[in-house]
Amino acid sequence: MISRVAILSTGDELTSGKIADTNAQWLADRCSSMGLDVVAVLGVGDHRDRITWAWENALAQADLVISTGGLGPTSDDLTTETVAALLGEPLRFDPEVANRIRAMFRAMGREMPENNLRQAYFPESAVVIPNPLGTAPGYRASCRRGGADRQLVVLPGVPREMFRMFDETVGPWIAGSIDARTVVATRTFQTFGVSESALDERVGGVIRPDEARISYRASFPKIAVKLMLRDLPDRAEGRIEELAGRVRAELGTAIYGEGEVSMEEVVGRALTGRGATVALAESCSGGLIGHRLTEVPGSSAYFIADYVAYSNAAKRDILGVSATTLEQHGAVSEEVAREMAAGARRRAGATVAVATTGLAGPEGGTPEKPVGTVCLALSAADQEVSRRHQLWGSRDWIKLLTSQLALDWLRRWALGLSVVESGFRK
């Protein structure tokens, strides 16, 4: 039975930093989505002793080792002879595979270099994994290590060939080798406003490690929390739903969505649900909020206008911010943000408007208003709110955080939640 997997990538181009190991990332995602525990991701260059080292370490940790790369016809492709040595098996020539390689070259009208037949040799016990897109097939084999059965899967390095072979042959075979009585159940929560360590503390406080695997994926400013468990089919869903209920109760409105959903989609749905239309008045975010809202197909149903009013003159002329307010409080102030939001809402005839004005840096900060000072305001018939936030980081980061805050305000307003509870801590 397979539950622990190690992924092994071979090639000098990986260890020299010439290319990123996207194969390993792709395989790790596939395997963990199947509920497998990926215990290690290893990468080594094209050296026999290093490849052997990686295989031995991988086999010591995992029931299944999936390798990519080093299956080509050239002398630096060492995977097959290393694996055969590891298995203690001689290589066998597979005439069927050889004919197929010859036929592929013929079909392309090319002469086949003799060394291409290296790809028709396999460890004696190997089961060939067809490669519909290229010359080098993969294979699988098994051996004993540490008193247990280990499975070895060997695939070529070319990503599109490897993807197809995995999805057509390897994936289904793994699915049949996983504890067939149980299924995987998962729940993913998209959150904003709670730091990764705080999330860990709070989720860890309501779910024990033996109840589900908890993982966090931070692609700031959003952090996804994922729960995963394996159980009998009639129990898995009920159990994960019970755990999900605890997470929802604990994190409350910091969760903006479940599953693979983006903040901008959630905002779109919430506005549609409320029958509301939106306008924006953007200064420091420079149109980013509008850009993000319009990433969602169908956003024309609720998105009316985005006024990017960068200069004081534009804030006055386009949004009707009063010269006195600008003079008294400065462009980066809650007062100006409020007038910007009100002006955008009026001008567009929208149900709700959000405004941003701030200092994205790196220059221009003062002791009273350091770089990262960002004022947000929301204007709607039922409320006018503003808040000053102290954000941090580089210019693009401050713009991104500002847009995330603004979208979270819109989400909260549309759902009838408290807008000012939206915040962001490091």
Q: Using omega within 30 degrees of 0 as the cis cutoff, is the peptide bond preceding 362 cis? A: yes
Binding site for ligand ATP (CB under 6 A): 9, 11, 13-14, 19, 21-24, 68-72, 77, 136, 156-159
What does the alpha-carbon distance between residue 358 and residue 30 come to, in Å, rounded to a whole number? 42
CB under 5 A: which stretch of 49-57, 66-74, 80-88, 304-312 binds Mg ion? 66-74
Residue with tokens 């086999």: 59
Residue number, 72 or 138, with CB nearest to Mg ion: 72
Determine if 72 is a binding residue for Mg ion (CB under 5 A). Answer: yes
Q: Answer with the entry of Mg ion, ligand ATP, none that 21 interacts with (C-beta below 5 to 8 A by kind).
A: ligand ATP
| Nearer Cβ to ligand ATP (116/190) | 116
Q: Which is nearer to ligand ATP, 67 or 283 (CB)?
A: 67
Between residues 21 and 94, which has the closer beta carbon with respect to ligand ATP?
21
Joined together, the tokens standing for residue 340 give: 């910007």
CB of 153 to Mg ion, least distance (A): 17
Contact status: 43 vs Mg ion (CB under 5 A): no
- Pick from Mg ion, ligand ATP, none: which does 313 bind, CB < 5 to 8 A by kind? none
**Among ligand ATP, Mg ion, none, what binds residue 231 when CB lies within 5 to 8 Å by partner kind?**
none
- Burial-class residue 122 by CB neighbours within 10 Å (0-12, 13-18, 19+): buried
13 touches, from ligand ATP, Mg ion, none (C-beta below 5 to 8 Å by class): ligand ATP
Contact 5, 62 (CB under 8 A): yes
State the residue number with the nearest CB to Mg ion. 72
Nearest to 392 by CA among 189, 191, 255, 195: 195
Q: Which of residues 75-104 bind Mg ion (CB under 5 A)?
A: 77
CA 191 vs CA 65, 199, 255, 418: distances in Å: 34, 9, 4, 16
User: Token pair of 77, please?
Assistant: 């492709």
Residue 71 vs 153, nearer CB to ligand ATP:
71
Q: How far is the CB of 72 from Mg ion (least distance, A)?
A: 4
Closest to ligand ATP by CB, 154 vs 331, is 154
Phi, psi of 238, rounded to the nearest 5 degrees: -60, -45
Which residue do the tokens 């290690």 mark?
40
Report the C-alpha gap between 422 and 424 in whole angstroms.
7
C-alpha distances out from residue 27 to 150, 152, 166, 306, 336, Å: 18, 14, 9, 41, 51
Is there binding between residue 290 and Mg ion (CB under 5 A)? no
Q: Give the interface segment with Mg ion, choosing from 70-78, 181-189, 322-330, 367-375 (CB under 5 A).
A: 70-78
CA dihedral over 86, 88, 92, 96, signed as positive or negative: negative
CA distance 251 to 27: 31
Nearest residue (beta carbon) to ligand ATP: 72
The C-alpha atoms of residue 6 and residue 42 are separated, in whole angstroms, by: 8
With contacts defined by CB under 5 A, how many residues of the chain interact with Mg ion?
A: 2
- Measure the CA–CA gap between 71 and 155, rounded to whole angstroms: 7
Shortest reach from residue 329's CB to ligand ATP, in Å: 54
Cβ-based nearer residue to ligand ATP, 16 or 300: 16
Per CB under 5 A, residues contacting Mg ion are: 72, 77
